[in-house]
Amino acid sequence: MIELSIIIPVYKVEKYIGHCIESVIAQESSGVSMECIVIDDCGPDRSMDIVRSMVDAYHGTIDFRIIRHEHNRGVAAGRNTGFEAARGEFVMLIDSDDYLQEGCVANLMKASREHPSADLIVGNFYSAEQKELCWKNLKDTMVLDSQKDIRRKFLTVELNCFPWNRLLRRQFVLDHKLFFQEGTIFEDVIWGYHLFHEVREVVLIPESTYVYEYNPASVMHSTREKSIATIRSFVSFCNEMLDQPYDDDLYVAHRLYVFNIMMKAIDTRMQASVTPEVSRSLDALRSRLWNDTLHHRQVLLVLFFSTAYPPFNLLLRTSLFRRHFDGICHFILRQSGT
């Protein structure tokens, strides 16, 4: 029986993919029965040539499988293809320009055996750009078994929406249809939202199991087309979140989370020219969120959300407002008792 399926969508990462595959091969010493599913998303460079040469030269216990898309479909589709093809009890996603730390699989699988009821096992990770661990103060394994606490930590960004560096039970993914939305940008946002709406138990381990690399080529350049796609995705995500809100006692945290994403869309619109249709959809979302908080008589939220309207939205351009944005959110949360 395969215990773990590692899924790696590959597109235009020839400078990084070799290290990524090497880090998977290094997990063989964990003794875990695993497969590695590489999704060829039809990139224009030598990424898959590197993968194939490494897989052909490998003769260990990890079962490498390569699945090729007929045409480029994006990372969301690649992850979905991997989920559908996986045979392991657990699945784990890796971005192809990142890599696993030594002992990653052993540490994550050990935590899964010690906490058999956990839906999700999350490792610490090291940011190569920031040169620091994500959870610098996490010294011992943390178990979250209150769904309300899990949702609260997600909405206040104590739990991130990244899909990589975590074990998920494959059957849990299938049962709750936790697939990525194809054709969107920043699809991790809405995927993480639905994930943490469903999980009942989460385990966080202090060991660093993953390195998040800084790949300048993966940073989206702000062309008009990409700005439009970004706003469309964020508007769609926000409306979906408002259609499926969390518990009433998490109302303030939930609306602040939605507001934060909406403000990123507004910021994007201020930086680029977009179509009237896209602009109207963003304005409609802004009105929906503001009217909702007004209806619930959330005075602090109403005042804060007014910064999404002219001329107050010009505050987005000031470094002072940006520096204190998170602080204002935390103040509102404390006042609401969230």
Q: What is the mean pLDDT of residues 178-193?
A: 95
**For the whole model, what pTM was predicted?**
0.93
In this predicted structure, what is the pLDDT of residue 220?
54
Q: Which two tokens stand for residue 265?
A: 């869309």
Least confident of 14-18, 102-106, 187-191, 320-324: 320-324
**pLDDT tens digits, one per residue of 67-87:** 999 999 999 999 999 999 999
Taking CA 118 as the corner, what is the angle to CA 117 and CA 124, rounded to the nearest 5 degrees?
A: 155
DSSP annotation string for 39-93: EE---SSSHHHHHHHHHHH--SSSEEEEEE-SS---HHHHHHHHHHH--SSEEEE
Contacts of 254 (CB under 8 A, 6+ apart): 155, 241, 245, 246
Give percent of the chain with pLDDT exceeding 70: 98
